[in-house]
């Protein structure tokens, strides 16, 4: 202030003067310490890697017939009934045959055989007891889904190229419960 507002050039010289004898160097190789940046990056990377879950839920599509007053007649001989008892035992029968116990692992073969034998006309009905675990119901559905490719190839071998899947879930009735009770 005392200098009386000298021009820009004047101010510059004064500053330079203050700093003394330092030589102004042209900086050629300029270095920035990247360590903190990389540190933080790694930290974030670890955080996101650990919090991301890669397993996305899958879905299994199901179709149920709409509510209708008119029951649809189907041939008993083309009907494959699967019943799941409350203790997790699976029974199967074709048409009016007596229900037979079957293991979950053996189910696939039966479904494939019946579908190929009946040449696409087989209708699979799953009746699950209200007290059966849901996980087992899904396992049965899974087995049925897994059977599909083999049914397709089986049908192809028999000269049928089209596959019409007929599958439904039905409620367990008192009659069904009675039928598989003592087995």
Partner 1 sequence: MSKIKKKRLGFVLDMTPLVDITFLLLTFFMFTAKFKSESENQQKVEIKRPKTQADTAKLADKDLVMVKVGVDSVLKDTAWYVSMINEQDITSLRQSMLEAKFPGADDKTVSFKVTDTVWLGKIVQSCRVVNPKASFAIDADKRLRYEWIEKAVNEMRKNRATTFNFVTEKRQGL
Angle 90-92-98 from CA coordinates, rounded to 5°: 120
Q: Whole-angstrom Cα distance, residue 134 to residue 132?
A: 6
Of residues 4, 9, 159, 171, which one binds partner 1 by CB under 8 A?
171
In the complex with partner 1, the residue whose CB is nearer, 24 or 59, is 59
Burial environment of residue 78 by CB neighbours within 10 A (0 to 12, 13 to 18, 19 or more)? middle
Closest CA to 112 of 159, 164, 167, 152: 152
Residue 116 binds partner 1 (CB under 8 A): no
Is residue 61 at the binding interface for partner 1, with CB under 8 A as the rule? Answer: yes
When asked if residue 132 is in the footprint of partner 1 (CB under 8 A), the reply is yes
Least distance (Å) between residue 35 CB and partner 1: 9
How near is the Cβ of 165 to partner 1 at its closest, in Å?
13
- Of 7 and 61, the one with the shorter C-beta distance to partner 1 is 61
48 touching partner 1, by CB under 8 A: yes
């Amino acid at each position: 202030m005392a200098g009386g507002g000298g021009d820009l050039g004047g101010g510059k010289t004064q500053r330079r003067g203050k700093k003394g004898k330092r030589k102004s160097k042209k900086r050629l190789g300029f270095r920035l310490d990247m360590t903190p940046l990389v540190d933080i990056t790694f930290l974030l990377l670890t955080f996101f890697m650990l919090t991301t879950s890669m397993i996305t839920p899958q879905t299994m599509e199901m179709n149920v017939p709409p509510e209708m007053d008119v029951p649809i007649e189907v041939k008993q001989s083309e009907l494959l009934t699967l019943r799941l008892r409350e203790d997790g035992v699976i029974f199967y029968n074709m048409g009016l045959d007596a229900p037979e116990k079957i293991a979950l692992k053996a189910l696939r073969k039966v479904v494939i055989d019946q579908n190929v034998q009946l040449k696409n006309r087989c209708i699979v009905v799953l009746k699950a007891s209200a007290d059966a675990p849901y996980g087992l119901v899904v396992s049965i559905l899974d087995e049925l889904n897994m059977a599909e490719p083999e049914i397709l190839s089986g049908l192809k071998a028999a000269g049928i190229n089209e596959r019409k899947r007929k599958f439904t879930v039905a409620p367990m009735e008192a009659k069904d419960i009675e039928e598989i009770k003592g087995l």
